[in-house]
Structure 1
Amino acid sequence: MTVNDDVFTDWKNREELAETMIPIIGRLHRERDVTILLHSRSLVNKSVVSILKTHRFARQIAGEELSITETFPFLQALSALDLGPSQIDLGLLAEAHRADDRGLSPAEFTAEAVAGATGANKLERQAPRDVVLYGFGRIGRLLARLLVEKAGGLRLRAIVVRNGGGDDLVKRASLLRRDSIHGQFQGTITVDEATNTIVANGNAIQVIYSNDPSEVDYTAYGIDNAILIDNTGRWRDREGLSAHLRPGIAKVVLTAPGKGDVPNIVHGVNHDTVKPDEQIISCASCTTNAIVPPLKAMNDAYGVLRGHVETVHSFTNDQNLLDNYHKADRRGRSAPLNMVITETGAASAVAKALPELQAKISGSSIRVPVPDVSIAILNLQLARETTREEVLEHLRDVSLTSPLKRQIDFIDSPDAVSSDFIGSRHASIVDAGATKVEGDNAILYLWYDNEFGYSCQVVRVVQHVSGVEYPTFPAATN
């Protein structure tokens, strides 16, 4: 047998294992609300090739590829346990077992590592929490995709939009079905014009036409105790957003920076500060979500005395395709043809999300002719001197095992470009190759999908405030 034959046989064996994993992962998710992860990446509803690629990704982080033959026994062990709702990371299980010197079998080690999710310790499954989307633009439609995907704990019941006239319902369903950047919707979408309903993967989503929040009684549609996500950005302060607190709505989440006393929440950093009785919160901006987790990671390890963030941001539909009047300076110039200097509120929002950071952070932004994925260049003066190797090792560890592993990703590829990060579910991705450190100065290059990555952060906040954000096992080590 040749080397090529050996490689091919090994690949087919791994394919077979991945095929065997898929129904187990699906059954755990469907029947027990257990999400199987691999280094913080969900394996639910993933293809054979996607599962194998996720295993291979570990090589960029840990230095060697994680073999599916190593993780499969842990998944088998999980399937035999009496698990409650939780998230379980096979990568962390395998890594922790490798470091354990007690000689425990995968089954014995797994039972011990996830004891908090089994038997008398397990959480009980809850009825799905109703969610309403107010607005159905770029972020709204991505949130819809994510909410349909997570229908076990959150259920998208309605979207509220202005009536655009003829074929409005059909056109909105079509925009949900196809996306020029993020591709096809993973599933089926049908339209019931008689009831103004879009059905996505069996989820009946009521389309409510309204010009003003005060016009809607959500209980008339069977919606109760819902979380409303405002994607319009029309209202930013407590007074304006309070108009959404109509019959059937319990909480309001804004997908833009909040003003005044509205809490700005970055999941992974300060989501645990949300008070149970708080009815109105903001998820800040995509850029704030991209820079605050790495800022916290750097401040915790080195101290940050001051910093500046320069964002190179993809254009948005707030800008003009061709030169035309715009109320803001420069944004009236053609977005696909120009780099456009503009402002960013991300730096000033840091203090709200990360009050323990006393450093002054300034910021500016340039919009560039790409439709999605941006990069934040974070220039930091640290409280002590360090090295590039030390910083990269710290950020690599943070992306793997810390409580920020769902927010911070890490890549060490010499050929990485912006389109590589379309669809990333992390708030930001550290580009190891571009990182610069000299003495007490560190410059981090942070990629972020300003549409999808941010939408994932919003859904995490909604899961948290709704009580369906389940614990992850094994627990983070730092």
Structure 2
Amino acid sequence: MSADKHLQSWQERFEMAEAMQPLLGKLYRNQGVEVVVYGKPLLNASTIEIIKAHRLVRRHVGEKLRLRESFPFVQALSKLAVKQCKVDIGKLAVNYWRDHTDVSEIENYMAKELADAIDHADDVAPRDVVLYGFGRIGRLLARLLIERTGRSNKLRLRAIVLRGGKKGDLEKRASLLRRDSVHGPFNGSVEVDEENNAIIANGTYIQVIYANSPDEVDYTKYDISDALVVDNTGIWKDEAGLGLHLKSPGASKVLLTAPAKGAIKNIVYGVNEGDITPEDIIVSAASCTTNAITPVLKAVNDRYGIENGHVETIHSYTNDQNLIDNYHTADRRGRSAPLNMVITETGAAKAVAKALPVLAGKLTGNAIRVPTPNVSMAIISMNLNAETSKDELNEYLKDTALQSPLQNQIDYTDSTEIVSSDLVGSRYAGVIDSQATIAEGKRAILYVWYDNEFGYSCQVVGVMQTMLGLTTLSLPA
């Protein structure tokens, strides 16, 4: 191909991606339809991100999916009365072009494949969400909720609750939402309403409330009712502490973004969210590490069986460590986080059993905090009940990541050059580094990357939707 043809091809793809963007936006804002390409979300995607999502199709099916081949499916989708669903135009297009050579039957094909979502009754009322705490996870959850702003959005961020309230606090909080040293600038506009103590982000009006205890707030004063309160503080972890939220008028359920104590259900979205019942009013989304390793462990156990194992977490430092040496109640965590590797405890391995009881008593775990601000790795060493090899295990995990019910939790890479910073912003619970896999006989070691902030936050949103009965139909099945 000549240089001019390369440029012409790129121009065609770029223009096609640009033409897709307004259609994708309208589908979500007006009909609640989220479009993906083999699991890669196109909501608010840039033209380059749309092109990259199409390039990744080769990993799934071994052949290209050109934008000119998928664009007619987006056009056909925009003409159908589909509502409140997730539609994978990548899968639909690939399946169609295997048996067809022209566009004449696309609309009929789409109507048939998406029949379950056409004229789907949109009778589920939007639900209010309150973020109690606005630290690393709280602000990322805000970004994820705000990116879904629209008439059809059912998960509505209504307020954040903070301690403090000193002069200038509101602008400081807004500034932290606008700019993030790890995850980059906020995709949109953030304004401050000083008079009403609110932040307005991409049209989402977020009431800022100051309180020192979960039971001090009357949410009904802000027209908030039947709300899910997401506790990001980590201060309260048992039923008695988290139950304080339910004493506040307007709050009906509580989700903890940390491992819970006692009988509270620890949920790893994609693995055991089916355990959530309408009667569950306090639920935990477990930890970032538990979310990263549990889907992978489930996949391996389903296929080979796990006799026992050990999980070593190489974890980025977190806000509970000191920047420089200072007093800390925990062992070793008082030493400077940016200057040291720090051995510490993790309950993630044992917590797996709460989401996956079949592994109870089979795993041990430890952690090493390292001088990076985000993205961690779990090294999972296992004794299996059946023999395997590196190639066989990788092929199975690749298929799991691409085709199984765990495809939204597990990603897979065969890159020989990937490093931690490449995974910043990953929406998956964990990413299998296939080049590092070790397997021989009944012994296997897996290396699993995870964005311990953003990937975990995506998992939390899944638990929020499940708690509120806002599950989405995914098509094609």
Task: Settle same-fold status: TM greater than 0.5.
Answer: yes
Structure-2 residue corresponding to 1:458: 460
Structure-1 residue corresponding to 2:22: 23
Task: State the SS of the aligned residue for 1:51.
Answer: helix
Task: State the SS of the aligned residue for 1:267.
Answer: coil
1:78-157 map, 5 Å: 78-98=77-97, 105-119=105-119, 122-124=120-122, 126-151=124-149, 152-157=153-158
Number of equivalenced pairs: 472
Q: CA deviation at 1:193?
A: 1.1
State the alpha-carbon separation in 2 of the partners of residues 369 and 60 from structure 1: 33
Out of 409, 422, 429, the position equivalent to 1:420 is 422
* 1:336 and 2:334 matched: no
Query: Which amino acid in the other structure matches residue 106 of structure 2?
Result: P
Q: TM-score, normalization: structure 2?
A: 0.96
Structure-1 residue corresponding to 2:178: 177
Contact kept, 8 Å, 1:307 with 1:359, in 2: the verdict is no
State the alpha-carbon separation in 2 of the partners of residues 113 and 254 from structure 1: 38
Q: CA deviation at 1:61?
A: 4.4
The 3 A distance-change label for structure 1 pair 472 and 275 is: same
Contact kept, 8 Å, 1:319 with 1:335, in 2: the verdict is yes
Task: State the SS of the aligned residue for 1:426.
Answer: coil
Task: State the SS of the aligned residue for 2:286.
Answer: coil
State the alpha-carbon separation in 1 of the partners of residues 369 and 214 from structure 2: 32
Q: TM-score, normalization: structure 1?
A: 0.95
Task: State the SS of the aligned residue for 2:228.
Answer: strand
Task: Using the TM superposition, name which of 288-297 and 12-21 deviates more.
Answer: 12-21
Contact kept, 8 Å, 1:61 with 1:410, in 2: the verdict is no
The 3 A distance-change label for structure 1 pair 441 and 106 is: farther
Structure-1 residue corresponding to 2:279: 277
Structure-1 residue corresponding to 2:50: 51
Following TM superposition, where does structure 1 have runs of at least 4 consecutive aligned residues deviating by more than 6 angstroms?
A: 101-104
Deviation sequence 1:292-340 (CA, Å, 0-9, x none): 0011111111111111111100000100000000000000000000000
Structure-2 residue corresponding to 1:209: 210
Deviation sequence 1:328-371 (CA, Å, 0-9, x none): 00000000000000011101101100113356011110000000
State the alpha-carbon separation in 1 of the partners of residues 304 and 186 from structure 2: 43
Task: Using the TM superposition, name which of 327-336 and 383-392 deviates more.
Answer: 383-392
Q: CA deviation at 1:50?
A: 1.1
Contact kept, 8 Å, 1:92 with 1:474, in 2: the verdict is yes
State the alpha-carbon separation in 2 of the partners of residues 303 and 456 from structure 1: 28
Out of 349, 352, 364, the position equivalent to 1:350 is 352
Contact kept, 8 Å, 1:305 with 1:358, in 2: the verdict is no
Identity in percent: 56
Deviation sequence 1:199-246 (CA, Å, 0-9, x none): 111111111111011211111111001100000011111111000002
CA-based RMSD of the aligned residues comes to 1.7
In the alignment, structure 1 segments of 5+ residues that lack a partner are none
State the alpha-carbon separation in 2 of the partners of residues 238 and 65 from structure 1: 51
Q: CA deviation at 1:100?
A: 5.7
Task: State the SS of the aligned residue for 1:344.
Answer: coil
1:308-347 map, 5 Å: 308-347=310-349
Structure-2 residue corresponding to 1:192: 193
Contact kept, 8 Å, 2:165 with 2:210, in 1: the verdict is no
The 3 A distance-change label for structure 1 pair 31 and 448 is: same
State the alpha-carbon separation in 1 of the partners of residues 203 and 269 from structure 2: 29
State the alpha-carbon separation in 1 of the partners of residues 70 and 303 from structure 2: 31
Deviation sequence 1:148-184 (CA, Å, 0-9, x none): 1123121111111111522011101100110000111
Q: CA deviation at 1:255?
A: 0.3
State the alpha-carbon separation in 2 of the partners of residues 12 and 182 from structure 1: 29
State the alpha-carbon separation in 1 of the partners of residues 442 and 96 from structure 2: 37
Contact kept, 8 Å, 2:350 with 2:361, in 1: the verdict is no
Contact kept, 8 Å, 2:65 with 2:94, in 1: the verdict is no
Q: CA deviation at 1:264?
A: 0.2
Q: CA deviation at 1:127?
A: 3.4
